[in-house]
Amino acid sequence: MKKDIYDDDIYDDVSGNRIDYEEAYRRQLQRYNELSNASGYDEDDDYDEDFDEDTDEQPQYVPPKKKSTQQRKSASTYERKRNVGQNFGSHKEDKNKKKKKKTSPVKKFFIILILLLLVVFVLLQLLIWRYIGDINTVSTGQRGYTDGSMESDEVLNILLIGSDSRSMEERGRTDSMILLSIDKAHNRTTMTSFMRDCYVTFPNLDNDGDGTDDKGKLNAANVYGGAELLLDTIEYNFDISVDKYFYVDFFSFAKIVDAVGGIELDISDEEAEGMRAPMAEQNKIFENKQGTDFLESGGNGLLVNGNQALAYARLRYVGNADFERTERQRTVITKIIEKAKTLSPIELDRFMETSLSALTTNYTQTELYRLSYRVPFIMGYDVVSQRIPEDGKYTYGDHDVGSTLDIDFDAAKEKLRSSIYG
């Protein structure tokens, strides 16, 4: 027979017989009183009326109520929280929880490497923009002729302009005009010097009003129309496309040589003597003492400073006049580049700051930023040096502008095409 566990009046004894609960309670109470009297219990003592057998209201047995599902869930949640609280701070591990995975050494290495590369990249960007900010940038003025047919996406043509004037605003004659042609397809840089006395046509320039384009020496183009007319003149006469330039005056050029720590040159005794005249002029401009930096004699591998290197580059009346002069200019530029490659980071930073602040260009800062990423590769290119006109490809002329070089333009164009784009 199924037991009625929660019956209010009865419960089952051990044998399973049903017993009257009230009668059982009275017997238990009577037994309790007998035992109490036997042990000296005083009936006058206070006692709990709940155990008085004469009371009208006897305590009733109240069976435990069944807990609802929600209550059981709440109790279970409470127990879990209590257990967590009791174990908080202990070293016991919950077996039901998965242990956290430790980062492997290889993964840590690559994380650190990526962070370091990121820091280096950010610092590099800041350094590049600092250098770009040192350069004097100007907008390109009005161009009148930009139809040179010789051009290529693989070749970047930049005209390096050097002048005896103190600044670009003076529009002095350009004694140094070197076309820097950077060929990324062949990892080659070609430096082409244009002779200052080349007799050329100035496109769209008619100062005398005769209805035809004026003619004159190439180095006068900057005087008549600035760097823009010089670019137009080279494109028009030599059919080669060139849109960008860097300008530096010769006196800032001396500072660049000093910033690189001087350069080594092979100087003949005749050149050492000839350098005194231009150096005397420079000493006045630099406010040096008379005779400063004069060379007593020539020699091979002489370490010269900026003042001496500038006099060497400007020297005209030793050797084959202006032909050797342009060669000296290319030599000095090449020596500066070679020396810059050997500088320590601190020395290179000082050199870059000095040299870039001496430059003026029609590159925008954004274009300079893109160009900066090519510079490390360009520094490793082979350098080829040449001159226009070539030997035997010109005659001496005498025009209203003085003595000139009347060149074979067809031969000059072919030389540029084969050496730069060939």
Domains of the chain and CATH, by start: 1-39+47-62 (no CATH), 135-420 (3.40.630.190)
Angstrom CA distances, 319 to 31, 192, 236, 270, 295, stand at 145, 20, 31, 9, 18
Q: What is the 3-state secondary structure (H, E, C) of 257-291?
A: HHHCCCEEEEECHHHHHHCHHHHHHHHHHHCCCCC
CB atoms < 10 A from the CB of 283, how many?
18
The pLDDT value recorded for residue 33 is 72
Q: Which of 344, 285, 333 is nearest to 309 (CA)?
A: 333
Look-up: residue for tokens 């290889």? 106
Question: pLDDT of 36-45, one tens digit each?
Answer: 665 554 545 4
Is the pLDDT assigned to residue 49 strictly greater than 90? no
Is the pLDDT assigned to residue 302 strictly greater than 80? yes
Rounded distance, CA 413 to CA 239, Å? 7
Angstrom CA distances, 76 to 66, 80, 341, stand at 15, 6, 77
Question: pLDDT of 211-262, one tens digit each?
Answer: 999 999 999 999 999 999 999 999 999 999 999 999 998 888 999 999 999 9
The pLDDT value recorded for residue 52 is 47
Q: What is the CA radius of gyration of the chain?
A: 50
Where does the pLDDT of residue 205 fall: very low under 50, low under 70, confident under 90, or very high at 90 and above? Answer: very high
Taking the CA atoms of 216, 221, 223 and 229 in sequence, report the sign of the dihedral they define: positive
The pLDDT value recorded for residue 53 is 46
Is the pLDDT assigned to residue 46 strictly greater than 60? no
Helix 306-314 / helix 321-340 crossing angle, nearest 10 deg: 150
Question: pLDDT of 364-390, one tens digit each?
Answer: 999 999 999 999 899 889 999 999 999
CB atoms < 10 A from the CB of 44, how many?
5
What percent of the chain lies above the pLDDT cut of 90? 65
Is the pLDDT assigned to residue 131 strictly greater than 80? yes
Whether the model pTM is above 0.85: no
> Does residue 163 contact residue 249 with C-beta atoms inside 8 Å?
yes
Look-up: residue for tokens 């002029």? 281
Q: What integer best gives the mean pLDDT of the chain?
A: 84
> Does residue 174 contact residue 222 with C-beta atoms inside 8 Å?
yes
Rounded distance, CA 422 to CA 420, Å? 6
